[in-house]
């Protein structure tokens, strides 16, 4: 399992870079219309979901809770696609979709980290990212009338922080890769 995680370290880095790019776009273009936010978020959730599905399926034989990563990916793809099918969506419904996506992916991120703690240290980064997602999702449900501008800022900051956490975790996996190669010879 650890070999598979360290072999695919770059997926976390790419996920983090996509999250940071999305966050920067949200912060630098606050005047974008709600439709633009819907499309950008839909692309982000879809790409993030696809990467999670790929990783979940790739780790099926090496990871007991591969299904958690797979479900996280499926949730991202579904929410991403829903944003494309409903381009004229209201701000309130969009907030609830984003909140549900963040909450669901946060739970599965924590489930994955709990499984990883048996084999690595530093899984707290993944737990922290999952907790950030859950808190973000709950805040969107509790305060839906916060206004489009403030939501864009919250989404942008959340995406940047989450992206940084994912990149740090990815490079942590890269660092462990050498240790794993010493213990488990591979044909990589």
Tokens 């780790």 correspond to: 59
For 27, the domain range is 2-181
Q: Is the CB of residue 143 less than 8 Å from the CB of residue 98?
A: no
Domain tally, the chain: 1
Contact (Cβ atoms closer than 8 angstroms) between residue 164 and residue 136: no
Residue 186 in domain:
no
In a domain, 187, yes or no: no
In a domain, 8, yes or no: yes
Q: What is the pLDDT of residue 88?
A: 61
Residue 89: pLDDT over 70:
no
The pLDDT value recorded for residue 77 is: 94
What is the per-residue pLDDT for 29?
79
Does 69 map to a domain?
yes
Task: In whole angstroms, give the CA distance from residue 34 to residue 8.
Answer: 35
Instruction: Determine the average pLDDT of the residues in 92-120.
Output: 85
Residue tagged 């940071």 (tokens): 20
- On whether residue 85 sits in a domain, the answer given is yes
pLDDT in tens, 134-186: 998 898 888 776 656 677 788 889 999 999 999 999 998 888 887 777 776 65
Given this model, what pLDDT does residue 99 score? Answer: 85
Please classify residue 24 by burial: count the beta carbons closer than 10 Å to its beta carbon, then call 0-12 exposed, 13-18 middle and 19+ buried: middle
In whole angstroms, give the CA distance from residue 2 to residue 8.
10
CA distance 42 to 179: 38
Spatial separation of the C-alpha atoms in residues 4 and 38, rounded to whole Å: 34
- CATH classification of the domain holding 144: 1.25.40
Of residues 185 and 36, the one with the higher pLDDT is 36
pLDDT grade for 34, boundaries at 50, 70 and 90: low
Higher pLDDT, 186 or 62: 62
């Amino acid at each position: 399992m650890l070999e598979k995680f360290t072999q695919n370290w770059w997926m976390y880095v790419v996920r983090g870079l996509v999250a940071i790019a999305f966050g920067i776009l949200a912060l630098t273009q606050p005047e974008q219309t709600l439709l633009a936010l819907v499309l950008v978020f839909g692309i982000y959730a879809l790409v993030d979901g696809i990467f999670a599905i790929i990783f979940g399926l790739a780790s099926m034989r090496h990871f007991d809770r591969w299904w958690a990563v797979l479900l996280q990916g499926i949730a991202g793809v579904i929410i991403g696609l829903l944003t494309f099918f409903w381009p004229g969506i209201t701000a309130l419904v969009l907030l609830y979709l984003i909140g549900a996506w963040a909450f669901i992916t946060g739970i599965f991120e924590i489930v994955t980290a709990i499984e990883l703690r048996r084999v690595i240290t530093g899984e707290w980064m993944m737990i922290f990212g999952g907790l950030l997602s859950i808190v973000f999702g709950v805040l969107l449900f509790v305060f839906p009338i916060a206004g489009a501008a403030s939501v864009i800022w919250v989404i942008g900051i959340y995406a940047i922080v989450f992206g940084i956490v994912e990149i740090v975790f990815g490079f942590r996996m890269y660092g462990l890769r050498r240790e794993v190669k010493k213990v488990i010879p591979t044909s990589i």
